[in-house]
């Protein structure tokens, strides 16, 4: 009788385990058994907007001129004394003000285009200048049902939705993976898009790669419970298992 009971219990546990739908907590289910390549969205270079902070390094063969063109020490902290990113702030008109050059219109330009533009201006008075520009304040925010919500700094100029979720410690088990909201500001207007991380076509979305100041909001699923302990969350499942075991014992006894 005891052996029969444990056999039924083992079969029941195997059955319950097999019923767990892992597709709800995995990414890109349609690509799990696929081979080859998936069409991905071509990465669009970031374009500078008003309020961005640019770190511009200009190198010349004349050290004195290089010091004039780079008032902030190259080895200085990436943060200024007030705690903000160090660099040239793009004003509301889209300009920055550089030594020996003056105002330079940089809005809606890539860092490569800015390098070429500044180099052309410097070539009028300086021999062989080298210009390197980067966006210093590239940040994204991840909110909602993730392990570590918050604002994250991106060191380069490329970050995808998966990169952002990785920075935030990944989605919680209770998070909705088919309804990820991306909030983006374009020309002063907020735009919204929804990504489905269970679908490989998301890789081709123009929102897959993030822009500066993008916000990712991860919606909690219907099973998400707030302000409750783990014991309370697991209580319904525990009661169900105990009821099942009780039923098995009664059936076995008969």
Domain boundary among 135, 159, 181: 135
pTM for the predicted model, two decimal places: 0.70
**Is the domain of 211 the same as that of 245?**
no
Mean pLDDT, the chain, integer: 79
**Is the domain of 98 the same as that of 118?**
yes
Backbone angles phi, psi at 82, to 5 degrees: -90, 10
**Is the domain of 162 the same as that of 108?**
no
**Is the domain of 8 the same as that of 80?**
no
- By mean pLDDT, which of 21-35, 163-177, 191-205 is the weakest? 21-35
Query: How does pLDDT run across 195-246, given as a tens digit for each residue?
Result: 999 888 888 899 999 999 999 999 998 766 554 445 555 556 666 676 666 6
SS percent in the chain: helix, strand, coil, step 5: 30, 25, 45
Distance from C-alpha of 97 to C-alpha of 113, rounded to nearest angstrom: 16
Is-contact 205 192, C-beta < 8 A? Answer: no
- Position 123 in a domain: yes
Q: Which residues pair with 153 in a beta bridge?
A: 139
The domain of 163 spans 27-42+138-220
- Position 244 in a domain: yes
- What is the number of domains present in the chain? 3
**Is the domain of 122 the same as that of 236?**
no
Domain boundary among 114, 135, 156: 135
Contacts of 47 (CB under 8 A, 6+ apart): 108, 109, 110
Domain boundary among 88, 116, 135: 135
Query: How does pLDDT run across 61-114, given as a tens digit for each residue?
Result: 888 888 888 876 444 444 554 555 678 999 999 999 998 899 999 999 999 999
């Amino acid at each position: 009788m005891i052996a029969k009971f444990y056999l039924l219990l083992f079969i029941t546990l195997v059955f319950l385990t097999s019923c767990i739908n892992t597709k709800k907590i995995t990414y890109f289910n349609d690509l799990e058994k696929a081979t080859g390549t998936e069409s991905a969205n071509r990465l669009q270079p970031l374009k500078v907007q008003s309020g961005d902070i640019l770190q511009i390094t200009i190198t010349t063969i004349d050290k004195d001129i290089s010091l004039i063109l780079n008032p902030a020490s190259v080895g200085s902290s990436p943060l200024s004394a007030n705690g903000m990113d160090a660099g040239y702030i793009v004003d509301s008109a889209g300009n920055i003000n550089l030594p020996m050059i003056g105002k330079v219109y940089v809005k809606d330009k890539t860092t490569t285009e800015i390098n070429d533009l500044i180099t052309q201006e410097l070539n009028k008075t300086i021999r062989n200048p080298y210009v390197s520009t980067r966006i210093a304040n590239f940040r994204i925010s991840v909110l909602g049902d993730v392990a570590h919500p918050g604002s994250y700094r991106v060191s380069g100029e490329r970050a995808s939705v998966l990169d952002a979720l990785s920075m935030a410690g990944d989605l919680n088990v209770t998070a909705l993976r088919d309804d990820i909201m991306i909030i983006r500001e374009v020309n002063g207007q907020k735009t919204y898009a929804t990504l489905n991380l269970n679908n490989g076509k998301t890789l081709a979305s123009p929102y897959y790669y993030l822009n500066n100041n993008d916000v990712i909001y991860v919606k909690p699923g219907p099973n998400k419970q707030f302000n409750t302990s783990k014991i309370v969350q697991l209580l319904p499942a525990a009661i169900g298992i105990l009821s099942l075991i009780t039923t098995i014992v009664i059936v076995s006894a008969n």
